[in-house]
């Protein structure tokens, strides 16, 4: 008999992970199995993220890092991250450490040269949040990459992304992550402000691009998100973990052997 299901919280990424492939979610979050491999994209994205955070930390105290500063910081962090995970990292076909290192430097150079001077003030970096929604007894948690404020006191919640393609209007308007961040901002001290949401996206095209996408959420969007989260919570607690074996995620899945075993037994 399987152990009772225990889960302490949900986040935008765990909810999306459940929706993308319930079985992968189960392996990672319920069974807490060690991943069989680590996708290079994860190390890459995490390191880019860390350097962008450093860039904005410096910006918040009035310093502008140069292209050379950020590319040198990236090289150091990326090399260290690889050394720590030696032997477990899985590259996509045609990629290796050197090619991804170059790609990271080129993306960050694009970021530094194209990040616009908007006059917005950084008022928070890596801001953790937690809030409750009706019908879900565990908290919804997460971390906002950056919170900015304009001269009128309006708030902009920013999430940094790296992506292989530009985002579509659906990606922006229907992002559950941004809806959750908007709800979290209201529940965590900004309920009396206008809240805007933004993805800052580095696009990994041959010539890298930096794109910013602004959006807002309505009460109806929040209600839809709440219903969806309630359904996800019910699904988890009832042990519904459906494999999505036609997902784009299968190729880079860190639980491919567990998945084969699950189908075989
Ligand atoms: S291989 Fe595909 S179906 Fe199997 S757990 Fe991973 S993402 Fe899900």
Which residue's entry shows tokens 């450093």?
Answer: 54
% pLDDT > 70, the chain: 99
Distance 258 CA to ligand 1 centre (A): 9
Distance CA 9, CA 141 (A): 7
Structural domains of the chain ordered from first start: 121-233 (3.90.320.10)
Residue 86 has pLDDT above 90, yes or no: no
Residue nearest to atom 7 of ligand 1 (CA): 250
Considering only CA atoms, which residue is closest to atom 3 of ligand 1?
245
- Mean pLDDT taken over the chain: 94
- For ligand 1, what atom is nearest to the CA of residue 249? 7
Strand-pair category, 155-163 with 195-203:
parallel
Buried b / exposed e across 60-80, counting CB within 10 Å, b at 16+?
eeeeebeeebbbebbbebbee
Q: Determine which of 30-34, 62-66, 82-86 has the lowest per-residue pLDDT on average.
A: 82-86
Compute the distance from residue 157 Cα to the ligand 1 centre, in Å. Answer: 32
140 lines ligand 1 (CB under 6 A): no
Supply φ then ψ for residue 162, to 5 degrees.
-120, 140
The Cα 18–Cα 243 span in angstroms is 10
For residue range 88-140, what is the model confidence (pLDDT) as tens digits? Answer: 888 888 889 999 999 999 999 999 999 998 889 999 999 999 999 999 999 99
Q: How confident is the model at residue 4 (pLDDT cuts 50, 70, 90)?
A: confident
21 in ligand 1 pocket by Cβ < 6 Å?
Answer: yes
From 242, 255, 260, 261, give the residue whose CB has the most ligand 1 atoms within 8 Å, as the site to mutate.
255
Ligand 1 pocket residue status of 51, Cβ below 6 Å: no
Q: What does the pLDDT look like over 200-232, one tens digit per residue?
A: 999 999 899 999 999 999 999 999 999 999 999
């Amino acid at each position: 008999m399987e152990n009772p299901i225990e889960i302490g919280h949900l986040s935008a990424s765990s909810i999306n992970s459940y929706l993308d492939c319930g079985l992968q979610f189960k392996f990672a979050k319920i069974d807490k199995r060690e991943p069989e491999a680590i996708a290079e994209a994860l190390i890459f994205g995490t390191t880019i993220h860390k350097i962008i955070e450093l860039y904005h930390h410096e910006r918040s105290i009035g310093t502008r890092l140069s292209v050379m500063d950020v590319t040198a910081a990236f090289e150091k962090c990326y090399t260290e991250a690889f050394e720590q995970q030696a032997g477990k990292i899985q590259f996509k076909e045609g990629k290796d450490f050197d090619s991804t290192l170059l790609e990271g430097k080129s993306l960050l150079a694009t970021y530094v040269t194209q990040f616009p001077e908007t006059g917005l003030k950084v008022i928070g970096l890596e801001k953790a949040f937690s809030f409750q929604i009706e019908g879900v007894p565990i908290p919804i948690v997460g971390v906002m990459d950056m919170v900015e404020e304009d001269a009128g006191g309006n708030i902009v919640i920013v999430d940094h992304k790296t992506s292989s393609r530009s985002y579509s209007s659906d990606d922006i308007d229907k992002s559950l992550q941004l809806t959750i961040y908007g709800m979290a901002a209201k529940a965590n001290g900004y309920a009396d402000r206008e809240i805007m949401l933004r993805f800052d996206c580095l696009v990994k095209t041959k010539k890298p691009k930096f794109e910013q996408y602004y959006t807002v959420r309505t009460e109806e969007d929040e209600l839809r998100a709440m219903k969806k989260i309630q359904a996800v919570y019910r699904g988890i607690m009832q042990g519904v973990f459906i494999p999505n074996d036609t997902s784009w995620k299968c190729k880079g899945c860190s639980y491919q052997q567990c998945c084969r075993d699950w189908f075989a037994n």
